[in-house]
Amino acid sequence: MKKVIWITGGGTGIGKAVAIKFANQGWKVAISGRRENILKEVEDINPNIKSFPLDVNDKEKCFEIMKNIKEEFGDIDICFFSTGKWDPKKEREIDVEQIEKVFKVNFFGTLNCIKSVEDHFRNRKNGIITIVSSIAGYKGLPNSTGYGPSKAALNNLAESLYFDFGRYNVRVCLVSPGFIKTPMTDKNDFKMPFLKTPEYSADKIYNGLINSNKFEIHFPKSLTLILKFFKIIPDRLYFYLVKKMTKLQKK
C-alpha cells in the first residue's frame, strides 16, 4: 500500500509545493483548503493528488474530511498542517477583531485539524504530525500584532504535543520557514532577506520528514540561525539590533 500524506493549505504556496513533491515521489496526497477551484488545479497536476475541500475553522468538518481521506486511501501516515492567514496592513496597530481572526485560522484552525487525527495516530502508534509555523514565531517583531503571536503559540503547542504524542511513538514536527515567495508574502511591502521559492521549501521539508528525525525543520539556515541566535541574547541587545535593522529597511 502506498503511503499517504494529508496537507492543509494545499492549494497554494508551500502546501502546494509539498503536495507536488510527495506526489512525484509516489505518495498518495490528500490536499485541503477552502477554494475548491484552486485545489482542483493542483489535483490535475498529478494523479496521486486528490482534493478534499475544507475550512479548518469547522471542527466537525475536520473530522469528516479525515474520515473521508482514510476511506479513500486506507490510512494517513503524515499530516502536514499549513493553513495560515496574514494581512500586513492590519498588523501595524492593535486591531483586536483582526487578531482574533488570525488566531482562529493560524492557531485554532491547526488545532482543529490536530484534534481530528488525535485518536487515529494514538491508535496507529506511528506516523508524523507536522505543524507549519514561521520564523515570526521565534521572537516579537515590529508590526506583527497577530501573525507572530499566533505562530509563537503554535511553537509552544508543538513542543507540548511532542511529549504527548511521543508516548504513542508518533513524531511531532515543527516547520519554521523563512521568507518564501507565496501569495501571502507577496503582500509584504518590504525587502525580504534570503527569499526562497516554494519548491526550495518542499525539498527541505521532504528531506526533513523522510530522511531525518529532527523536531524542527527550519530554512534557509542563513536566516534562521541568525534569528535563533536572537532568541538567546539579552533582551536589551535584541531590541537594539532589531530597531537598527528596521531603520535600515526603511532607508
| Catalytic residue status for 138 | no
CA 175 from centroid of its chain's CA atoms: 6
Q: How far apart are CA 180 and CA 192, in angstroms?
A: 9
Q: How far apart are CA 232 and CA 79, in angstroms?
A: 31
Could you give the C-alpha distances from 188 to 117, 167, 177, 180, in angstroms and in order?
34, 41, 16, 11
- Catalytic residue, chosen from 147, 168, 200, 206, is 147
Grid cell, residue 18, equals 509539498
> Please, is 243 exposed, middle or buried when counting C-beta atoms within 10 Å of its C-beta (0-12, 13-18, 19+)?
exposed
> Please, is 143 exposed, middle or buried when counting C-beta atoms within 10 Å of its C-beta (0-12, 13-18, 19+)?
middle
As annotated, the active-site residues are 147
